[in-house]
């Protein structure tokens, strides 16, 4: 394995992501118009919506990779590392979603948080995947880590619709406000679309790099383990040597 | 040994350990009692306690569940007893069902005590056979779900460093639908919170479905977890 996680493809992808980010800045902050009701607050949407898209995409990939790990008889750790890398990215962007969402909520509803079904299930999902990462760090062999975390990921995927459904039913009693949904102008829609494309590129770029870093970490762990084994064997041999010599004398 | 016999043997073993050690009686039940009293201190408003009693019962159940799951797997990991059970070639599904069953029986006892405490401390009332039946179905269904996810995540975290802190993080988000469903259903049974009986039964139905899902999913997951 080389010392770098980048290849020609990731460098091109990285450059495209960078360009997309500048493009999003330009359209999101300057070229797209203010909203009639939300005014400048609408610009949060260009980060918020792509973030939530990316987070869901990442968690879906984690789920699929976890099933693929358990499904394949070879128990390939590549799937496990893709699942882990994707979950890390998902958590990061779920956090961005929650922060930008509550800021937007403060501007639009006057509150940082409402007990809306979507908000509540998003927060629970965030905590669930934080737990998933904690399971990945439990220790043990790489295969133990992979198996435990794959199970947690699959249960999380099953749990998400259940949580959403129950919170939605629960909330029908408490629903107080609804967001007036105006039609988005063309320029706003274009900026939003730019954000989604850019964030998707960013996701792929991050996933490839992070997955390779995790592979390097695993390889390093294995090498350290081998080195420790060789050292212990050498110690045992050295300890046995004088004993045999003295026994011979 | 068939799966059912393994399950019954494991459940009987766990309950026998419990009967001899009396951890449930001497520690978990007093703990949940203290939690119920502390809730009364925190929510010291007229009529508020009787209104929120169903939610408090399930919160106290969850707190106690964490303690009980840790206890249930501490007895297995202390002398690597669980490894011995796995190596003995016992059916993993049987192991899962047995541990869940023992946990469910203990949770059932706990919830009956908690409901009685709510009647005494929070002036909660259950009038009529229909409401009593709803409460009973809710408790049995919710307890089976909680025992299932408790056993699965308890097994997952067992024997690892930091399991005491990891377990709540894994378990509580998964328990969210149970807390919501069981609270609404018990609100109907207690006639608080303006929930109709029909809606209460719908929530109880959801809990039963969740119970089946957790038992099947947990058994499959547990098998994958301990097969080596």
Three-state DSSP string of chain A:
CCCCCCCHHHHHHHHHHHHHHHHHHHHHHHHCCCECCCEHHHHHHHHHHHHHHHHHHHHHHHHHHHHHHHHCCCCCHHHHHHHHHHHHHHHHHHHHHHHHHHHHHHHHCCCCCCCCHHHHHHHHHHHHHHHHHHHHCCCCCHHHHHHHHHHHHHHHHHHHHHHHHHHHHHHCCCCCCCCCCCCCCHHHHHHHHHHHHHHHHHHHHHHHHHHHHHHHHHHHHHHHHHHHHHHHHHHHHHHHHHHHHHHHC
| A146 falls within a domain | yes
Per the model's pLDDT, the better-predicted residue between A248 and A32 turns out to be: A32
- Residue B84: CB atoms within 10 Å: 11
Q: How far apart are CA A204 and CA A10, in angstroms?
A: 9
8 Å CB contact of B173 and A134:
no
Per the model's pLDDT, the better-predicted residue between B111 and B24 turns out to be: B111
Q: How far apart are CA B202 and CA B208, in angstroms?
A: 10
Q: Does A123 touch chain B (CB under 8 A)?
A: no
Task: State the average pLDDT over residues B184-196.
Answer: 83
Q: What pLDDT, on the 0 to 100 scale, is given for residue A175? A: 40
| A3 falls within a domain | no
Closest Cα of chain A to B160: distance in Å? 6
Q: b vs e for B127-162, b when ≥16 Cβ sit within 10 Å of the residue's Cβ?
A: eeeebeebbebbbbbbbbbbbbbbbbbbbbbbbbee
Domain count, chain A: 1
Q: Does B213 touch chain A (CB under 8 A)?
A: yes
Provide the pLDDT confidence category of residue B136 given band limits of 50, 70 and 90.
very high
Q: Tokens 């009639």 — which residue? A: A36
Answer yes or no: are the C-beta atoms of A81 and A214 closer than 8 Å. Answer: yes
Q: What is the CA radius of gyration of chain B?
A: 18
Per the model's pLDDT, the better-predicted residue between A122 and A35 turns out to be: A122
pLDDT for A189-242, tens place per residue? 888 888 889 889 999 999 999 999 999 988 998 888 889 889 899 888 888 876
Q: What pLDDT, on the 0 to 100 scale, is given for residue A86? A: 95
| A2 falls within a domain | no
Q: Does A163 touch chain B (CB under 8 A)?
A: yes
8 Å CB contact of A140 and B225:
no
8 Å CB contact of A162 and B177:
yes
Q: How far apart are CA A181 and CA A187, in angstroms?
A: 17
| A183 falls within a domain | yes
Closest Cα of chain B to A130: distance in Å? 8
Answer yes or no: are the C-beta atoms of A106 and A193 closer than 8 Å. Answer: no
| A1 falls within a domain | no
| A244 falls within a domain | yes
| A155 falls within a domain | yes
Q: Is the pLDDT of residue A245 over 80?
A: no
Sort out which chain A residues have CB atoms less than 8 A from B152's CB and list them. Answer: 151, 155
pLDDT for B32-74, tens place per residue? 999 999 988 888 776 788 888 899 999 999 999 999 998 888 8
Which of A125, A138, A149 has the highest number of chain B CBs within 10 A, making it the mutation to test binding with B?
Answer: A138
- Give the 3-state secondary structure of residue B44: coil
Q: Does B210 touch chain A (CB under 8 A)?
A: yes
Q: Tokens 């569940």 — which residue? A: B65
Provide the pLDDT confidence category of residue B150 given band limits of 50, 70 and 90.
very high
Rounded to two decimals, the pTM is 0.83
The ipTM (two decimal places) reads 0.81
Per the model's pLDDT, the better-predicted residue between A74 and A18 turns out to be: A18
pLDDT for A80-136, tens place per residue? 999 999 999 999 999 999 999 888 888 877 888 887 777 888 888 899 999 999 889
Q: How far apart are CA B170 and CA A133, in angstroms?
A: 10
Q: Does A117 touch chain B (CB under 8 A)?
A: no
Question: Two tokens at A145?
Answer: 């880590």
pLDDT for A157-202, tens place per residue? 887 787 777 777 776 544 444 444 455 667 778 888 888 898 899 9
CATH number of the domain to which A103 belongs: 1.20.120
Q: Does A225 touch chain B (CB under 8 A)?
A: no
8 Å CB contact of B156 and A147:
no
Q: What pLDDT, on the 0 to 100 scale, is given for residue A177? A: 40
Sort out which chain B residues have CB atoms less than 8 A from A154's CB and list them. Answer: 221
Q: Tokens 């800021």 — which residue? A: A103
8 Å CB contact of A159 and B174:
yes
| A18 falls within a domain | yes
Q: Per DSSP, which regions of B77-214 are E strands?
A: none
Tell the burial category of A4 from Cβ atoms under 10 Å away from its Cβ (0-12, 13-18, 19+): exposed
Q: What pLDDT, on the 0 to 100 scale, is given for residue B141? A: 93
Q: How far apart are CA A67 and CA A76, in angstroms?
A: 11
Q: What is the DSSP letter of B26?
A: I
Q: What pLDDT, on the 0 to 100 scale, is given for residue A180? A: 43
Closest Cα of chain B to A63: distance in Å? 14
User: What is the extent of the structural domain holding A80?
Assistant: 8-248
pLDDT for B88-102, tens place per residue? 878 888 889 999 999
Q: How far apart are CA B196 and CA B187, in angstroms?
A: 9
Q: What pLDDT, on the 0 to 100 scale, is given for residue A244? A: 56
The CA distances from residue A239 to A27, A229, A247, in Å, are 71, 15, 13
Sort out which chain A residues have CB atoms less than 8 A from B217's CB and list them. Answer: 155, 158
């Amino acid at each position: 394995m080389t010392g770098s996680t980048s290849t020609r493809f990731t460098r091109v992808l990285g450059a495209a992501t960078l360009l997309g980010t500048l493009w999003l800045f330009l359209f999101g902050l300057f070229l797209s118009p203010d909203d009639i009701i939300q005014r400048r607050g609408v610009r949060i949407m260009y980060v918020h919506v792509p973030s939530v898209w990316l987070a869901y995409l990442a968690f879906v990939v984690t789920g699929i990779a976890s099933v693929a790990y358990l499904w394949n008889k070879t128990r390939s750790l590549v799937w496990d590392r893709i699942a882990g890398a994707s979950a890390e990215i998902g958590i990061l962007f779920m956090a961005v979603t929650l922060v930008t969402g509550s800021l937007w909520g403060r501007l639009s509803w006057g509150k940082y948080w409402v007990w809306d079904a979507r908000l509540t299930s998003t927060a629970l999902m965030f905590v669930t995947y934080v737990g998933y990462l904690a399971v990945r760090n439990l220790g043990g062999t790489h295969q133990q880590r992979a198996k435990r975390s794959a199970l947690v990921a699959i249960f999380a995927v099953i749990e998400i619709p259940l949580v959403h459904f129950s919170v939605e039913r629960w909330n029908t009693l408490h629903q107080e406000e609804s967001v007036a949904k105006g039609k988005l102008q063309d320029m706003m829609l274009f900026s939003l679309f730019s954000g989604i494309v850019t964030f998707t590129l960013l996701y792929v770029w991050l996933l490839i790099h992070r997955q390779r870093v995790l592979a390097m970490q695993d390889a390093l762990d294995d090498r350290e383990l081998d080195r420790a084994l060789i050292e212990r064997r050498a110690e045992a041999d050295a300890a046995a040597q004088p004993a045999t010599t003295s026994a011979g004398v | 040994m068939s799966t059912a016999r393994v399950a019954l043997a494991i459940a009987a073993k766990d309950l026998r350990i419990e009967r001899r050690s009396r951890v449930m009686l001497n520690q978990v039940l007093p703990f949940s009692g203290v939690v119920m009293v502390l809730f009364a201190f925190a929510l010291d408003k007229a009529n508020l306690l009787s209104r929120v009693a169903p939610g408090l019962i399930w919160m106290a159940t969850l707190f106690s569940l964490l303690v009980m799951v840790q206890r249930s797997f501490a007895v297995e990991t202390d002398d690597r007893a669980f490894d011995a059970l796995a190596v003995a070639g016992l059916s993993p599904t049987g192991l899962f069902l047995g541990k869940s069953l023992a946990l469910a029986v203990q949770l059932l006892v706990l919830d009956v005590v908690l409901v009685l405490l709510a009647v005494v401390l929070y002036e909660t009332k259950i009038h009529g056979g229909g409401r009593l039946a709803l409460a009973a179905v809710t408790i049995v269904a919710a307890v089976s779900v909680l025992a299932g996810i408790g056993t699965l995540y308890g097994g997952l975290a067992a024997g690892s460093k930091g399991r005491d802190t990891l377990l709540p993080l894994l378990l509580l988000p998964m328990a969210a639908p149970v807390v919501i469903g069981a609270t609404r259903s018990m609100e109907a049974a207690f006639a608080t919170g303006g929930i109709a009986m029909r809606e209460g039964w719908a929530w109880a139905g959801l809990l039963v479905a969740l119970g089946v899902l957790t038992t099947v999913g947990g058994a499959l997951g547990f098998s994958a977890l301990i097969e080596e």
